[in-house]
Amino acid sequence: MSTLSSNKNWFFRYKIYHLPFWFVYHYMWWTLSIGNAWAAANNIVSSPYAIKYCFYVIFQAIGVYFNLYFLIPRFLEKGRYEVYLSLLFLTVLCTAILIVPGYYVSAWLSDQPFQQMYGRDPGDYMYFFQINTLPSSVASTTLGMSIKLTKNWMRSRRREQELEKEKLETELKFLRSQFNPHFLFNTINSIFVLIHKNPVMASESLAKFSDILRYQLYECNEHCIPLGQELNYLENFIELQRLRQDHDRVDLTLRYNVQHTADLEIAPFVLMPFVENAFKHVSRRDEGNNWITLDLSLAGDELQLLLSNSACSGDAGTELIHYGGIGLKNVQRRLDLLYPGRHKLTITRDENAFHIALRVVLSERAAAGAVSIEREHGLTLISEA
C-alpha cells in the first residue's frame, strides 16, 4: 500500500497525468474526425499516421503550456491585454504551422505516396493548415485556458471562503478574549479608582475604552480598514493595558515611525494578537526588570512590527508553541490567507524574553481620504508600580 501511495504521489507531484490527458484528447479529436473510435485507435497504434499524431500531441502541448505558464502570468494577469492577445494569436499560428510537417514526415517514413495516404497533393500545404491543424490548435488552446481559468477561479473562491471563515472565527475569538467579565470589570474598576485620584486621566481612559468598544463592534467589519484607524485602536488598547498594569511594574517602551498612513489599508486585528500576548506573557517579577518594547515602522508600503517582552526563565518551553491568544498556528494561518507571499513572521524565545518580528506588505486604499496619523519618533512611556 505504501508503494502504491508513493507512486501515486509521484504521478501527481510531477504532473505526469498531463501526458495521458493529451493522448486521450487527441484520440477523441481523431475519433470525431473520422467517426470510428476503433479505426482511430488502430491508426494511432499501428499505422504510419502515429507520427502525425505525435506531432499534434507534442506541439499543441508546448503551445498550450507556453500560454498557460508564460503568457497568462506575464501579460493577461497584469492587464496587458493587447500584448497578450497578439502573442496568443502568434502562438496558435506557430503551433498549427509546426504540426503540418508531421503529415510529410509520416508519408516519408512509411514509404507511401503522400497522395495515397491523405488524398491530397503534397503541395497543398494550406489545406492541412486551414482545415486540420489550425482548428485543432485553437480548440486545444481554448480547452487548456478553460481548465486553467476554471481552476484559478475555484482556488480564488475557496480562498475567499476560507478567508471569510477565518475572519469570522478570529473576530469571535478575539472578542471573547477581550469582552469577558475579567477584562470589563478590571478596566471599569481601574477607571473608577482614577475618578477620585485623577479625574482628567479617568475621563481620557473612559473615552479610550469607549473607542475600543465602538471599534470592535462597528468599525472593523470590513475586509480591510485604513491603517491609521487600526493604529489608533492599537494605541488605545495599549493605554488601557498600561492602566490595568498599575499593580505591577512594567516598563513599556514604544517607538513609532509611521507617517502618511491615509493611502494604506490593513486587515483588522492583524497586529493585535501579538500586542495582547505581550501583556499577557510579560514577566511578573517582584524584583527585577519587567518590560515590553514595541517598535513599529513603515517604509513605503511595508509595515514592520518588532515586539519583545520579558519572560520568566522558568516558563515552560511549550509556551512558545501556543504563544498567542488564538495560538501561533491560527495567527500564521490568517496571515497566509490575508497576505500570501507578502509577509514574514518570526517568533523566537530566549532565556528571558519573547521576540516577535513581523513584516507585512500593505495595499493601497481605493480612495484614500483619511487624514494621516503622525507620531513622534522614539516615544517612551513607562507605567509605574
Three-state SS across 279-320?
HHHCCCCCCCCCEEEEEEEEECCEEEEEEEEECCCCCCHHHC
Does residue 84 lie in a domain region?
yes
State the DSSP H helix or E strand holding residue 4, giving kind and residue range, or none if neither: helix 2-13
Residue 160: strand pairing partners: none
Contact 296, 245 (CB under 8 A): no
Quote the domain boundaries for residue 227: 220-364
Q: Give the list of residues 6+ apart from residue 175 with CB closer than 8 angstroms, or none.
A: 216
The gap from C-alpha 267 to its chain's centroid, in whole angstroms, comes to 13
Q: Are 128 and 230 within one domain?
A: no
Does residue 197 lie in a domain region?
no
* pLDDT, tens digit (0-9, with 9 covering 90-100), for 137-161: 888 888 888 888 888 888 888 888 8
Sheet containing 343-349, strands listed edge to edge, beginning at the edge strand earlier in sequence: 251-257, 291-299, 302-310, 353-361, 343-349
Q: Are 235 and 130 within one domain?
A: no
State the DSSP H helix or E strand holding residue 140, giving kind and residue range, or none if neither: helix 134-178
Write down the residue that cell numbers 485604513 correspond to.
226
Q: Are 22 and 120 within one domain?
A: yes
* pLDDT, tens digit (0-9, with 9 covering 90-100), for 255-287: 988 877 768 888 887 887 788 788 878 887 777
Residue 380: strand pairing partners: 253
* pLDDT, tens digit (0-9, with 9 covering 90-100), for 51-73: 777 888 888 888 888 988 888 88
The CATH number of the domain holding residue 233 is 3.30.565.10
Confidence at residue 149, expressed as pLDDT on a 0 to 100 scale = 84
Q: Are 334 and 257 within one domain?
A: yes
Q: Are 13 and 147 within one domain?
A: yes
Mean pLDDT value across the chain: 75
Closest CA to 178 of 75, 98, 268, 114: 268
- How far apart (Å, rounded) are the C-alpha atoms in residues 280 and 337? 26
Q: Are 224 and 118 within one domain?
A: no
Half-sphere exposure of 97 (CA within 13 A, CB side): 6
DSSP for residue 113: -
Q: Give the list of residues 6+ apart from residue 52 with CB closer than 8 angstroms, or none.
A: 102, 103, 105, 106
Closest CA to 48 of 120, 106, 122: 106
Last residue of a domain, one of 158, 179, 207: 158
Instruction: Using CB atoms within 10 Å of the CB of residue 252, give its burial: 0 to 12 exposed, 13 to 18 middle, 19+ buried.
Output: buried
Half-sphere exposure of 242 (CA within 13 A, CB side): 22
**Residue 257, SS3?**
strand
Write down the residue that cell numbers 481548465 correspond to.
147
Quickly state the pLDDT bin for 106 (edges 50, 70, 90).
confident
* pLDDT, tens digit (0-9, with 9 covering 90-100), for 314-333: 554 444 444 444 456 667 77
Answer whether 0.85 is exceeded by the pTM. Answer: no
Confidence at residue 371, expressed as pLDDT on a 0 to 100 scale = 35
Q: What angle do CA 373, 378, 383 make, to 5 degrees?
A: 95
Q: Are 106 and 245 within one domain?
A: no
Q: Are 235 and 355 within one domain?
A: yes
Confidence at residue 27, expressed as pLDDT on a 0 to 100 scale = 74
- How far apart (Å, rounded) are the C-alpha atoms in residues 338 and 176? 22
Confidence at residue 380, expressed as pLDDT on a 0 to 100 scale = 36
What's the total number of domains in the chain?
2
Considering only residues 296 and 378, tell me which one the structure prediction assigns the higher pLDDT.
296
